[in-house]
Amino acid sequence: MKSLYIIALLASGFLFLKCSESSKETSQTLEPPQLTIAWETDTLLQIPESVIYDKNNNVFYVSCIGPKTTAAHDGDGYIAKVGPNGEIIENKWLTGLDEPTGLAIVGDTLYVANIDQLVSIQISTAEIISKQDIATTTFLNDVASNSSGDVLIADTDLNAVFIKSGEEISILYQSEELGGLNGIYCEEKRTLLTGSGSGKLYALENETLTVLADSMKGADGIEKYKDGYFISSWKGQLYYLDTNGKRSKLLDTEAQKVNAADIDVIEEQNLLIVPTFFANKLIAYKID
């Protein structure tokens, strides 16, 4: 009986040790990804604000504000086309815009925010299909599309999310809590938003707004990568939010005066693409 008792104690101790080890494993902090420069474009892009990858044509489209950052209908903004290794294929692929910012692709249509308009461009012909005015707005910023093909547009001044469903554009959500709404990213059941003034990342689900992360002053672009998210801050910071909700600062180029505007991620290539605004180029980072 005594030997059985000892064996039972040993077994229970072993189980306790295994459970403790398992608990430690699940509570371990995930290591954030590392970024190294893969390529850079020439500095010919005039204030690049946003970038999007066109998988069908294996190119990037870049919204370039032009020589001036005044939000005026001056017609000097344009879209550039950049190759998969950073070569500028056509610096002024499409012209006649004012201050283009966010980009989204649905089928053969490229959508661009243009101060107070949503511009639709046919990719195959590089022609403007329409310029749809949005009443009361003065600063449209990011653009995203959802799985239904609807287009969502962020309005920074109004702290509002507009939605284009079919030909109709209406307000989907509005709240001063957003603190200068900037970036927008659509998931199946929720929409992620960044506040440039608040420095926060939000999740919007069924009109309920939840803060996922904070302390990212000038928060701009938001893109999913594996189980986490990359967030850019305009002055030059790049962050990663992991599955445990831990925010890590991966890069800071503010001292070099290299901005980080509205980013894009190509997950299958492990690439993060950053428009650098006043540095007039794209930088692609390899994600390790």
- Between CA 265 and CA 273 the distance in angstroms is 6
Torsion angle, CA of 196/97/160/111, rounded to 10 degrees? -100
Evaluate whether residue 80 is within a structural domain: yes
- Between CA 178 and CA 181 the distance in angstroms is 5
Domain total of the chain: 1
Strand order in the sheet with 228-233: 219-225, 228-233, 237-241, 247-252
pLDDT over 80 at 178, yes or no: yes
pLDDT over 90 at 10, yes or no: no
pLDDT over 60 at 184, yes or no: yes
> Percentage of the chain surpassing pLDDT 90?
86
Evaluate whether residue 179 is within a structural domain: yes
Task: Name the burial class of residue 55, with classes exposed (0-12), middle (13-18) and buried (19+) by CB atoms within 10 angstroms of its CB.
Answer: exposed
Identify the pLDDT of residue 28: 57
Evaluate whether residue 13 is within a structural domain: no
Evaluate whether residue 2 is within a structural domain: no
**CATH number for 64:** 2.120.10.30
Identify the pLDDT of residue 27: 43
Give the mean model confidence (pLDDT) for residues 166-177. 96
Evaluate whether residue 18 is within a structural domain: no
Give the mean model confidence (pLDDT) for residues 129-135. 94
Evaluate whether residue 19 is within a structural domain: no
> Percentage of the chain surpassing pLDDT 70?
90
DSSP SS3 for 86: coil
Identify the pLDDT of residue 21: 42
> Residue 75 sits in which domain range?
45-287
Confidence of residue 153 (pLDDT cuts 50, 70, 90): very high
Give the mean model confidence (pLDDT) for residues 237-251. 97
**What does the pLDDT look like over 16-70, one tens digit per residue?**
334 444 434 444 568 999 999 999 999 999 999 999 999 999 999 999 999 988 8
3-state SS, one letter per residue, for 151-205:
EEEEECCCCEEEEEECCEEEEEEECHHHCCEEEEEECCCCEEEEECCCCEEEEEE
Evaluate whether residue 31 is within a structural domain: no
Give the mean model confidence (pLDDT) for residues 232-240. 98
Give the mean model confidence (pLDDT) for residues 263-285. 98
Give the mean model confidence (pLDDT) for residues 190-219. 97
pLDDT over 60 at 5, yes or no: no
pLDDT over 70 at 142, yes or no: yes
pLDDT over 70 at 235, yes or no: yes
Evaluate whether residue 8 is within a structural domain: no
Instruction: Please give the mean pLDDT across all residues of the chain.
Output: 91
User: Beta-carbon neighbour count of residue 40 at 10 Å?
Assistant: 14
Confidence of residue 72 (pLDDT cuts 50, 70, 90): confident
